[in-house]
């Protein structure tokens, strides 16, 4: 096989393979690249030595069996026999399910997570969205401090386990989306700067050095991250990628890195005949994120919509601190506006940022290009105690939230356990072997929440193994028996039956009555009417005949009349417009 590495500033490069050292030669066709052909079996350990220095793992390693910083291992992807043919499953009509492998089960492995896939298929979700799998220090962590974007965290089972997981998911009819991080790499075990100009000091991210996307040598850096994304999609038959915090990708070049990446992914989809997609996490509220490249957009296929979450969260909880302040003034009115327009901050003033923020979306934008959710790993885990909605609001409100997410206009996403009202917290945890880094993370977390009034000893220690243990889902014996689980399953089925997958924002309307705590959202023919007040009240409906499709168990909702639909306190009804 051919071993290659980009090391543009090195004078000599050696390959260490199974304890034997071989001199590598410059590649005459590619400046800065070195290569060496050698026989190597699956699992063979190897690394590179630059100018006589220490041996470092391959930056493009597919496997790091001993963790970040140690030797890489050869991975032969051709040895896996795929059991389930898969034509792909696109984003249109999708229902996403976000999970963290390390806390989804007690075992915290991909193989253990795969055992739960039939249950997710029974629920009706279409795609499992895995939080990052790149190798990171220690055994347990969120995964956003990964080091090797081409590899798979060994304690989760490594590359072979990911192939088995994807194969099992496809066998259950589920697509698989993987969360990847291109805006920074973790500090521990990260030796990329020894190989080349992967990072820049012209800008920084909140998490460390920014990647070099637009300076000298950036052509190869861009190819490195784009290549890792394409390799994951190709070698593991993934259906899509979620791109973490794309607002932290600093790129001043005329063609943005994300536009190049989306073009490459679209080309791969055409070549493989499988629909592939990219979902961005961005706090910019920038319409260019999902606008077509032909219209000078980035061409990404969807983006997370935190505005939807913030409106919904404040409406359910009454919280008004921090970034919730703008939404809490009139949360139902804000939520109605978000459902119809896509963004709350679409050019107006943001008090949290103390400036104007965002820009309006086109009303012709397919609503599915925005991802809506009531909970995510971020919105739960970045709370001081990692508390979920189920631990802080009346259970009836969980049924209301589920209806707005699963039968609302946007591509819905559930966070693991949300479908049965899990109350286990999901806290921030790390397992850094480096004591200085561990201390810095611990103290940084305490300082962050001290600014919000928390005492230091109230904030869970990320390095304490008990913090991860508290965050592991405590599964009921049969979650299917839970009324909330059954409600979510029914809502997903109603969405599939009645909501057009190509629905545009122009086809969405919403009205709110802040005083009576009423909200009615019409997504094409599908209507969600919610009463968050403590008394029965009547919600007005769009003109035409409306058919009642579903209400939560125990909610005594009669068929709608001329005045609308009468909703008991803290209840919701899902209806269908059958005549105009």
CA distance 21 to 52: 11
The yes-or-no answer on residue 244 being catalytic is yes
**Annotated catalytic residue, options 244, 251, 260, 307:** 244
Interhelix angle 218-235/257-272, nearest 10 degrees? 30
Written as one string, the DSSP assignment of 408-446 is SSSEEEEETTGGGT-----------SSHHHHHHHHHHHH
Cα torsion at 476, 479, 485, 490 (round to 10°)? 180
φ/ψ of residue 178, rounded to 5: -120, 135
**Average pLDDT for residues 136-152, to the nearest whole number?**
95
What domains does the chain contain, in order, with CATH numbers? 2-79 (2.60.40.10), 89-302 (3.20.20.80), 434-463 (no CATH), 506-577 (2.60.40.1180)
Dihedral (CA of 458, 461, 464, 469) sign: positive
pLDDT at 447: 84
Give Cβ neighbours of residue 176 (< 8 Å, ≥ 6 apart): 127, 128, 130, 165, 166, 169, 170, 236, 237, 238, 239
Q: Can you tell me which residue has the tokens 């259970």?
A: 395
pLDDT at 541: 95
- More confidently predicted of 30 and 79: 30
CA distance 150 to 231: 7
Instruction: Give per-residue pLDDT as tens, 526-547.
Output: 999 999 999 999 999 999 999 9
Q: For residue 269, what are its two tokens?
A: 């989809």
Work out the percent of the chain whose per-residue pLDDT is above 70.
99
pLDDT at 580: 58
Check: CB of residue 186 under 8 Å from CB of residue 137.
yes
Check: CB of residue 572 under 8 Å from CB of residue 400.
yes
**Annotated catalytic residue, options 281, 306, 307, 418:** 281
Give Cβ neighbours of residue 96 (< 8 Å, ≥ 6 apart): 125, 126, 127, 128, 129, 177, 371, 411, 412, 413, 414
Segments in 147-290 forming alpha helices (H): 158-171, 192-195, 218-235, 257-272
CA distances to 246, 273, 329 from 376, rounded to whole Å, are: 17, 31, 23
CA distance 209 to 202: 9
Summary count for the chain: helices (H), strands (E): 15, 27
Give the pLDDT band of residue 289 (cuts 50, 70, 90): very high
Q: Can you tell me which residue has the tokens 């898969």?
A: 86
Check: CB of residue 335 under 8 Å from CB of residue 268.
no
Between 119-123, 312-316, 419-423, 456-460, the lowest mean confidence (pLDDT) is in 456-460
CA distance 144 to 136: 8
For the chain, the average pLDDT equals 96
CA distance 513 to 245: 34
Give the pLDDT band of residue 192 (cuts 50, 70, 90): very high
Check: CB of residue 83 under 8 Å from CB of residue 134.
no
CA distance 529 to 566: 10
Neighbours of 445 (CB within 10 A): 20
Between 49-53, 309-313, 438-442, the lowest mean confidence (pLDDT) is in 438-442
**Average pLDDT for residues 273-286, to the nearest whole number?**
97
Neighbours of 577 (CB within 10 A): 18
CA distances to 294, 382, 418, 491 from 482, rounded to whole Å, are: 47, 27, 12, 14
pLDDT at 277: 98
Give Cβ neighbours of residue 400 (< 8 Å, ≥ 6 apart): 316, 530, 532, 570, 571, 572
The yes-or-no answer on residue 378 being catalytic is no
CA distances to 49, 75, 190, 439, 515 from 13, rounded to whole Å, are: 6, 22, 19, 36, 71
**Residue closest to 428 by CA, chosen among 390, 382, 465, 379:** 382
pLDDT at 287: 98
Output Rg (C-alpha) for the chain, integer angstroms: 25
What global pTM score does this model have?
Answer: 0.97
pLDDT at residue 314 tops 90: yes
**Average pLDDT for residues 355-383, to the nearest whole number?**
97
Instruction: Give per-residue pLDDT as tens, 35-67.
Output: 999 999 999 999 999 999 999 999 999 999 999
Work out the percent of the chain whose per-residue pLDDT is above 90.
90
CA distance 555 to 272: 48
Q: Where are the beta strands (DSSP E) in 406-559?
A: 411-415, 508-513, 518-523, 526-531, 537-539, 546-550
pLDDT at residue 309 tops 70: yes
Please count the CA atoms within 13 angstroms of the CA of 168 that sit on its side-chain side: 18
**Average pLDDT for residues 353-361, to the nearest whole number?**
96
Give Cβ neighbours of residue 401 (< 8 Å, ≥ 6 apart): 312, 316, 374, 389
**Average pLDDT for residues 197-223, to the nearest whole number?**
92
């Amino acid at each position: 096989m051919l071993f290659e590495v980009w090391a543009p500033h090195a004078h000599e490069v050696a390959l260490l393979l199974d304890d034997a050292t071989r001199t590598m030669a410059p590649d005459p066709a590619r400046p800065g690249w070195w290569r060496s052909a050698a026989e190597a079996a699956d699992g063979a350990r190897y690394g590179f030595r630059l100018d006589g220095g220490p041996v470092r793992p391959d930056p493009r390693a597919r496997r790091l069996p001993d963790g970040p910083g140690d030797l890489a291992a050869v991975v032969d992807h051709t040895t896996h026999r795929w059991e389930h043919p898969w034509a792909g499953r696109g984003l249109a009509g999708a229902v996403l399910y976000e999970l963290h492998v390390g806390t989804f089960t007690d075992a915290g492995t991909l193989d253990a997570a795969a055992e739960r896939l039939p249950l997710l298929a029974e629920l009706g979700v279409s795609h499992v969205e895995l939080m990052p799998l790149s190798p990171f220090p220690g055994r347990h962590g969120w995964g956003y401090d990964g080091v090797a974007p081409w590899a798979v965290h060994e304690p989760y089972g490594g590359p072979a386990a990911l192939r088995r997981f994807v194969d099992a998911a496809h066998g259950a009819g589920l697509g698989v989306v993987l969360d990847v991080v291109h805006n920074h790499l973790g500090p521990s075990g990260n030796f990329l700067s020894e190989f080349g100009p992967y990072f820049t000091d012209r800008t920084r991210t909140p998490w460390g050095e920014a990647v070099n996307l637009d300076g000298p040598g950036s052509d190869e850096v861009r190819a490195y991250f784009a290549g890792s994304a394409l390799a994951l999609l190709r070698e593991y038959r993934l259906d899509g990628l979620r791109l973490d915090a794309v607002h932290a990708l600093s790129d001043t070049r005329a063609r943005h890195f994300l536009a190049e990446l989306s073009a490459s992914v679209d080309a791969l989809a055409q070549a493989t005949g499988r629909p592939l997609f990219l979902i961005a996490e961005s706090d910019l509220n920038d319409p260019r994120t999902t606008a077509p490249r032909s219209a000078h957009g980035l061409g990404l296929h969807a983006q997370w919509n935190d505005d939807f979450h913030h409106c919904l969260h404040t409406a359910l909880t009454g919280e008004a601190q921090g970034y919730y302040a703008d939404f809490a003034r009139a949360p139902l009115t804000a939520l109605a506006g978000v459902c119809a327009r896509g963004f709350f901050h679409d050019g107006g003033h943001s008090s949290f940022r103390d400036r104007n923020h965002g820009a309006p979306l086109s009303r012709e934008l397919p609503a599915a290009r925005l991802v809506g959710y009531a909970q995510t790993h971020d919105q739960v885990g970045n709370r001081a105690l990692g508390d979920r909605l189920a631990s802080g609001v009346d259970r009836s409100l969980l049924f209301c939230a589920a209806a707005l997410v699963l039968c609302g206009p946007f591509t819905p996403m559930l966070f693991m356990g949300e479908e049965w009202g899990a109350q286990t917290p999901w806290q921030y945890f790390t397992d850094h072997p480096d004591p200085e880094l561990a201390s810095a993370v611990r103290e940084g977390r305490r300082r962050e929440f001290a600014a919000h009034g928390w005492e230091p000893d109230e904030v869970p220690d990320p390095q304490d193994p008990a913090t991860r243990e508290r965050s592991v889902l405590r599964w009921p014996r049969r979650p299917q028996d839970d009324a909330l689980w059954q409600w979510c399953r029914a809502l997903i089925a109603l969405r599939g039956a009645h909501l057009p997958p190509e629905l545009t924002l122009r086809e969405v309307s919403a009205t709110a009555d802040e005083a009576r705590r009423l909200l009615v959202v019409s997504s094409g023919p599908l209507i969600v009417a919610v009463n968050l007040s403590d008394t029965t009240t009547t919600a007005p409906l769009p003109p035409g005949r409306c058919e009642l499709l579903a209400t939560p168990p125990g909610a005594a909702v009669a068929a709608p009349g001329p005045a609308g639909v009468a909703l008991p306190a803290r209840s919701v009804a899902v209806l269908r417009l059958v005549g105009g």
